[in-house]
């Protein structure tokens, strides 16, 4: 099982904002509805090709579907 590359919550939010259900986005991205469900639950990672299809369908950038950058911890910020 591959770790998720995309942020499942961001992917789901973008899909809902686009007015699509999982089956519709799955068809547009060329994946099965069951695979789409695994992607949105964070149990599978999307390939670069599938991420590109998501961005085309959802009218967004790949970065919009990725996890946010972690905030530096205070103890790490001063250590550098």
Q: Which pLDDT tens digits describe the chain residue by residue (80 residues)?
A: 455 689 999 999 999 999 999 999 999 999 999 999 999 999 999 999 999 999 999 999 999 999 988 888 877 655 55
Q: Burial of 69 by CB count in 10 Å (0-12 exposed, 13-18 middle, 19+ buried)?
A: exposed
How many other CB atoms sit within 10 Å of the CB of residue 46?
A: 23
- What architecture is the 8-60 domain classified under in CATH? Orthogonal Bundle (1.10)
């Amino acid at each position: 099982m591959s770790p998720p590359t995309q942020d499942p919550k961001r992917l789901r939010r973008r899909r809902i904002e686009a007015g699509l259900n999982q089956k519709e986005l799955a068809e547009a991205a060329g994946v099965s509805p069951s695979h789409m469900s695994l992607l949105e639950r964070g149990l599978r990672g999307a390939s670069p090709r599938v991420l590109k299809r998501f961005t085309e369908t959802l009218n967004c950038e790949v970065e919009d579907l990725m996890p946010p950058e972690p905030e530096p911890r205070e103890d790490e910020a001063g250590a550098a």
